[in-house]
Amino acid sequence: MELLSNLGDGLAFVMGVIPILTITLGVAMGIVAGATPGLSPSMGVALLVPFTYAMSPTLALILLVAIYIAANYGGSITAVTINAPGTPSSVVTAFDGYPLTKKGKPGLALGVSLVASTVGGIIGTLILIFFSGPLANFALKFHPAEYFALAIFGLTTVASLGGKNWIKAFIAAMFGLLLNTIGIDPISGVSRFTFGLSFLYDGFALIPALIGLFALSEIFKQLEGGDFSTRAVDAGKQEWPTAKAYWKLKTTIMRSSFMGTIIGIFPGAGATIAAFISYDVAKRVSKTPEEFGHGSMEGVAAAEGANSSSVGGALIPLLTLGIPGSASTAVLIGALMIHDLTPGPQLFISNPDIIYGLLASLLLANVILLVLGFFGSRLWIKVTTIPKTVLFPLIFAVSIIGSFAVRNSFFDVAACLAFGVFGWLLRRYNYPVAPIILGMVLGNIAETNFIRANMMGGWTVFFTRPLSLGMLVVAAASFAVPFIQARKQKQ
């Protein structure tokens, strides 16, 4: 097998001292970048690109990819400890991770998220190594109609996210979708709802909305409760998941990893949709769905397994076709070009050493992530032991600088604060805020592909393409099932 021998060469290369140090450095930086609200994996990668000019292309790529992987995991740390998802995809991790922290068991959430991330990352990489060719060809055939169907499928998760408050959940999702239409219309180029204000041309950035709706609204809520003299957790006796607990999660992690990789392949879909859908599926098949949203370890595993494995998926179109599947991989293309390498199928022939070195380093980076994350978790958990009187002002400070850093703009800071107040008011009246984020993430994919499909094939195209029709039917079914179940229970 040529593939295996190439991979062997790659592994032999990354087992050197310098590659291992590079990966370790990348993983450490990635965790910090991911855990800092306002720094996304793509920014972490982008900021490091200039530093890699002087490195050899393989080492440079290894470093950047290590950052990318680790940043995807890093986002879950702040999601679990302070309800401030560091990355959009870790919103889903916060659903159950933060309730676990509130129950005084952040260790359970941090442990599960690390292990699910690592396993997901490795599964994603293995799929990338062995099946990238056929999967890439499948991704190419994905018509805008199918992207639209995928986005609609993602939206149906709102039905089960909302539970009893489904009307409010849908209102929140629709509001997120509507917010997403502010700015210059990506299809026609017309500026919409900008009221002539130049800072609205790009609409609302996701990260300030994320920080405001989650982190700030949470603090406002706790401030309103008036109880902030206590510590959340006792540092002395922390509970970590047992080996048995991990083993019980094996199916959830495996399933979410496969789903994450597959959804990650489609350029533009990415980690966030993967996490939402995987969480939704996990909840539906779970024996204890009532625990979801109140601190379910399964929920954390489903979210993290999916968003970490999507990295492997996103790399498939990048390496095999030269097409970026996510914002971070778009930056990787820039980095490849700086090193005079043209991403695409030719790269496998012209520079197999680089490709297989990269693939091997992905595997190694996940292992190093596990090690660093293991020790790191013991450190992160201390955040939850800081007295709230100290923690709250600091979270405000992090939120302000984090939302400013996204685009270096004060508008984003003000937006973050407004989202914070708005999120607090919504949560007071039992509106879930996560659907707003889902709407903002999916809005663009849904709208642009809806219009593209229409331009290409008219209204009927959604129903004449078998794949699109199939996905829409599944979406409709998954939307209806919770209501049918609820009705049956009533009778």
Partner 1 sequence: MTLKGLGLLLILLGLLIFTPKANAAFPDKPIKVVVYTGPGGLIDISARKFAGIASKYVDVNFVVENKPGAGGIVALKKVIQAPADGYNLYACTKSNIAKFVQVGGEGYLDALHWTAMLMADPECVITNRKLAIHEWPDIVENALAIPGDQTWVGPAAGGLDHVTALKIWDKYGIDAKWIPFKSGGKALAALLGEQGVAYVGNPRDALGNPDLFIAAVSAPERLEAFPEVPTFTELGMSGLENEFMWRGFALKQGTPHEVVEWYDDLFKKVTADEDWISFWSKGGLDVTYIAEPEFSKLVQEDAEVFEYYLKKSDILPGDAVGILAKMATGSQFIILSVILLLVWLSGSYGVYRSNYSDILGRFMIIGFFLVVSILFLVQSMNFPTSSAVGPAAVPRLWITMLIPLNILLMIKTFRKKDGVAESGPRVDIVLSFIGFLIVYLFVMQVFGYFLSTFAFIIVGLYYLGYRNWRNTIIIASSWILFSYVVFYKTLYVPLPLGMLFENLF
CA angle 351, 356, 361 (to 5 degrees): 130
Please identify which residue in 2, 189, 375, 488 interacts with partner 1, judged by CB under 8 A.
Answer: 189
Strand partners, 382: none
Judged by CB under 8 A, the chain residues 72 through 131 that form the site for partner 1 are: none
Taking alpha carbons only, the member of 223, 155, 177 closest to residue 428 is 223
Q: Which of 1, 2, 17, 229 binds partner 1 (CB under 8 A)?
A: 229
> Any contact of residue 429 with partner 1 (CB under 8 A)?
yes
Residue 174 touches partner 1, criterion: CB under 8 A: yes
Q: Which is nearer to partner 1, 382 or 428 (CB)?
A: 428
- Among residues 78 and 238, whose Cβ is nearest to partner 1? 78
Instruction: Build a one-symbol-per-residue string for 235-274: x at contacts with partner 1 by CB under 8 A, - elsewhere.
Output: --------------------------------xx------
* 414 in contact with partner 1 (CB under 8 A): yes
In the region spanning residues 433 to 472, those forming contacts with partner 1, defined by CB under 8 A, are 444, 446-448, 450-452, 454-456
Q: Establish if 289 lies at the interface with partner 1 (CB under 8 A).
A: no
Residue of the chain from 167, 235, 285, 473 that contacts partner 1 (CB under 8 A): 167
Query: What is the closest distance, in whole angstroms, from the C-beta atom of residue 57 to partner 1 in the complex?
Result: 12
In whole angstroms, the minimum distance from the beta carbon of 180 to partner 1 comes to 9
Query: Applying CB under 8 A, does 221 fall inside the site for partner 1?
Result: yes
Among 387, 464, 477, 484, binds partner 1 (CB under 8 A): 387
Name the DSSP letter for residue 191. E
Please report whether residue 185 would count as binding partner 1 according to CB under 8 A: yes
CA 308 to chain CA mean position, Å = 8
Nearer to partner 1, 18 or 397 (CB): 397
| Under 8 Å between Cβ of 170 and 158 | yes
Contact call for residue 330 and partner 1 (CB under 8 A): yes
Identified binder of partner 1 from the candidate list 82, 127, 129, 171, rule CB under 8 A:
171
Instruction: Find the binder of partner 1 among 5, 56, 251, 342 (CB under 8 A).
Output: 342
Q: Which residues, at least 6 apart from 438, have a Cβ–Cβ distance to it below 8 Å? A: 154, 155, 157, 158, 161, 173, 176, 272, 276
One residue of 25, 126, 184, 481 binding partner 1 per CB under 8 A: 184
Q: How far is the CB of 266 from partner 1 (least distance, A)?
A: 9
When binding is defined by CB under 8 A, the residue of 13, 204, 279, 392 that contacts partner 1 is 392
Contacts 24+ apart (CB under 8 A), 5-8: 6/352, 6/355, 6/356, 7/129, 7/356, 7/359, 7/360
CB burial string 125-140: b at 16+ within 10 A, e below: bbbbbeebeebbeebe
Among 25, 104, 170, 245, binds partner 1 (CB under 8 A): 170
Name the amino acid, one letter, at 430.
N
Residue from 5, 56, 242, 430 in contact with partner 1 (CB under 8 A)? 430
Nearer to partner 1, 115 or 161 (CB): 161
Whether the Cβ atoms of residue 468 and residue 152 lie closer than 8 Å to each other: no
Q: List the beta bridge partners of residue 183.
A: 192
Scanning 226-351, the segments in alpha helix (DSSP H) are: 243-248, 250-265, 270-285, 297-321, 327-338, 345-350
**Smaller CB separation from partner 1, 64 or 110:** 64
Which stretch, 307-315, 363-371, 374-382, 423-431, contacts partner 1 (CB under 8 A)?
423-431
Site string for partner 1, 126-165 (x = CB under 8 A): -------------xxxxxx-------------------xx
Note whether 406 and 108 are within 8 A (CB): no
Closest to partner 1 by CB, 228 vs 479, is 228
**How many residues belong to the chain?**
491
Q: Does 400 bind partner 1 (CB under 8 A)?
A: yes
**What is the DSSP code string of 211-242?**
IIIIIIHHHHHHHHHT--SS-SS-SSS-----
Site for partner 1 in 6-45 (CB under 8 A): 39, 42-43, 45
Of 153, 122, 39, the closest CA to residue 87 belongs to: 39
Task: Please state, in angstroms and as integers, the Cα–Cα distance from residue 83 to each residue in 194, 221, 302, 399, 411, following that order.
Answer: 31, 12, 18, 12, 23
